Amino acid sequence: MSATNLADTINALSIGMVVVGVALVWTRWPRHAVALVATQSLLLGVVGLVVAGHTHRAHLFVGAGLVLGVKALALPALIAILIARARATEEMPSAVPRALGLAAAVLLSLVTIETFSGDPFVTPLNATRALPAAVALMLLGLQTMVTRHHVVAQITGFLAIENGMALAALTATYGMPLIIEFGVLLDLLLAVIVAFVYSRRIHEMHGDLLTKVLRELRG
């Protein structure tokens, strides 16, 4: 793959991840949110494979494999189990009108990508959109978490933030040293497992997965 093709491919995949991130803000169904975040992780895994293939770095192949296994498969499967067990067919309520949320997400993405384009945020592979897309992904994940009061939105939004982080790491510095990547993924896995356990308890106590019940402690 030529250098231009490589940069174009990574740019396209990065923008694809952002589009999925915008869809995550838009969707109101827990199942769709899980599918979206799995897709986003899949794209991230492909970025990993592309960068690994280009740079011939073994640790990147391992890293991409871990991303595909943990983020694209295991974690979405865990959330899907949660949804199935809780029979969570309810909408994920939005704190702002959906159209407004969508407009904000699109605007946020465009402004972020514009702001962070150019030197010194051009990655070594010359993929000009990768780092800006990573920042946009983190902000979109945050928007999902803040605006949707539902356990599934909180977890998927968090995973989207993590995906943004991982995209930045992959493209800017060819990932982190493998042992660090491994530790980060382990932490992520544990955090989602604990969130899974808490979600089950929330469901046991209230019969749904809405986080509006978690609003008693104030002041």
Partner 1 sequence: MTLAEACCIAVVAALLPGAAAALVLPFSRATWAIAATAGGVCLAATAVLTVDVSRNGPSLGFGDWVYVDALGIVVADLVAGIGLLAIVNSLPYIEHELGHGDLNHAKARHYYALVLAFLATMFAVPLLNNLGAMWIAIEATTIVSALLVSIHRDRPGLEAAWKYLIIGSVGIAFALFGTMMTFYAAEPILGDSGDALNWTTLHSVARQLNPDVMRLAFVFVLIGYGTKAGLAPMHTWLPDAHSQAPSPVSGLLSGVLLKCAMVALLRIGVLTDLSVGGGFRDNALMTFGIMSIAVALPFIIVQGDLKRLLAYSSVENIGIIALAAGIGGPIATYAAVLHIVAHSLTKSSLFFSAGSIVHAYGTRRLHRLRGLVRTTPGIAAVFVGAIIAVSGFPPFALFVSEYGLVSGAFAVDRGAVAVAGMALVALAAAALLFQVVGTAFAEQDRKRQPGRIRSLALATAALPLLLTIWIAFAPPPAVRDLLRDAAAVMEG
Q: Is the peptide bond before 124 cis (omega within 30 degrees of 0)?
A: no
Q: Per rule CB under 8 A, is residue 219 in the interface with partner 1? A: yes
Only one of the segments 11-19, 36-44, 93-101, 160-168 lies at the binding site for partner 1 (rule: CB under 8 A); that segment is: 160-168
Nearest CA among 144, 39, 34 for reference residue 81: 34
Q: Per rule CB under 8 A, is residue 142 in the interface with partner 1? A: yes
Q: Measured at the alpha carbon of residue 142, what is the angle toward residues 138 and 144, in degrees to the nearest 5? A: 120
Contact 151, 204 (CB under 8 A): no
Q: Per rule CB under 8 A, is residue 184 in the interface with partner 1? A: yes
Q: Measured at the alpha carbon of residue 166, what is the angle toward residues 162 and 169, in degrees to the nearest 5? A: 140
- Torsion from C-alpha of 45, 128, 173, 61, nearest 10 degrees: 30
Contact letters (x/-) for partner 1, 74-113, by CB under 8 A? ----------------------------------------
Question: Which chain residues interact with partner 1 by CB under 8 A?
Answer: 120-121, 124, 134-135, 138, 141-142, 145, 154, 157-158, 161-162, 164-165, 168-169, 172-174, 176-177, 179-180, 183-184, 186-187, 190-191, 194-195, 198, 201-202, 205, 211, 213-217, 219
